[in-house]
Amino acid sequence: MRKFFLLLLIASLLIFPTLAFAQNEASIKELGVQLWPEYDRADMLVMYSLALADNTSLPTSLNIRIPADAKLNAVAKLSEGSMLTVPYDPPVRDGDWMVLTLVMDELTTYRVEYYQAMEIDGAARNFSFLWESDYDTESIYVEFQQPPSATDLRTTPVLPNQNPVAEGMTYHTFAQGKLPAGEAFELDISYNKNNDDLTVSSMPVEVSGVPASDTNSFSLSDSLPTILVGVGVLLIVGGLLYFFLAGRGQTAPPRKRTRSKGGGGEAKYCHECGSRASGNDKFCRSCGGKLRG
């Protein structure tokens, strides 16, 4: 009996030789899709969080498809708790898609962000999201951020979970299991909104605690000599520092990803799964992890 199964196995390997190599192909353990329409532009902000299967051998590269009319905004990875920009080559056009080759040297979450135009007709907004890849995807998690003044939201498939309202914002989420390579995941979204307001402008602004200067107790004429001496010392020290640092000519460390936006402060990311957080969120809406300041 055992022999029979062995023969069957060998026969099937001969018939389907690709099976024998299937394990070497990269596969995506988790795909997070955040859809934030009219967030800081009158477009759809689409954000992917990608985590590879744990047994992936590194480095590896992943071909990510984004719509041909998308405006790629950022490619980053979560590394030791912070978001680092990842250098990439310009995406290559392939029919309705652009293919972005993501070189991955760490088993961590990679992020791809792009903007895509929505169909706007008066108050009506329509958007079709489409994901297609050459890799098996073990699970997909979708988060839709509803603009505060949006009404009549309709989606196909239905987004069944409505997260507790956070600072007046409503998030709709959807989770699905395995999506085989080559199969598409599609989400159609429509809603009404009779203004051009951007979500980011409705979020509370985090003001850094700079105290208002007490001008009354400070007399400029009394302090002027001190100030001039101070400025002179600063210039000399600064010049010396510049001279020594510039002379060393070392390569700059990877730039921390800080992107300031109008009114919304710096973009904040979950240190566990890399999902984008908004405003004053204390916990990640994707994985529930505590967000660091």
Contacts to Zn ion by CB under 5 A = 270, 272-273, 275, 284, 286-287, 289
Residue with smaller CB distance to Zn ion, 135 or 141: 141
Name the maximum alpha-carbon separation found in the chain: 101
Query: In whole angstroms, what is the distance from residue 259 CA to residue 84 CA?
Result: 12
Number of Cα atoms under 13 Å in the Cβ half of residue 55: 5
Residue with smaller CB distance to Zn ion, 37 or 274: 274
Q: Which of 274, 278, 258, 260 lies closest to 110 in space, CA to CA?
A: 274
Rounded least distance, CB 166 to Zn ion, Å: 14
Residue with smaller CB distance to Zn ion, 197 or 272: 272
Rounded least distance, CB 81 to Zn ion, Å: 12
Rounded least distance, CB 269 to Zn ion, Å: 8
Residue with smaller CB distance to Zn ion, 67 or 289: 289
Rounded least distance, CB 128 to Zn ion, Å: 26
Rounded least distance, CB 285 to Zn ion, Å: 8
How would you classify the pairing of strands 140-146 and 28-37?
A: parallel
Residue with smaller CB distance to Zn ion, 187 or 273: 273
Rounded least distance, CB 287 to Zn ion, Å: 3
Q: Which residues of 75-93 are buried (b: 16+ CB within 10 A; e: fewer)?
A: bbbbeeeebbbbeeeebee
Query: In whole angstroms, what is the distance from residue 281 CA to residue 293 CA?
Result: 10
Residue with smaller CB distance to Zn ion, 70 or 270: 270
In angstroms, what CA-CA distances link 127 with 20, 103, 232, 244, 258? 40, 29, 58, 54, 28
Helix%, strand%, coil% for the chain, nearest 5: 20, 40, 40
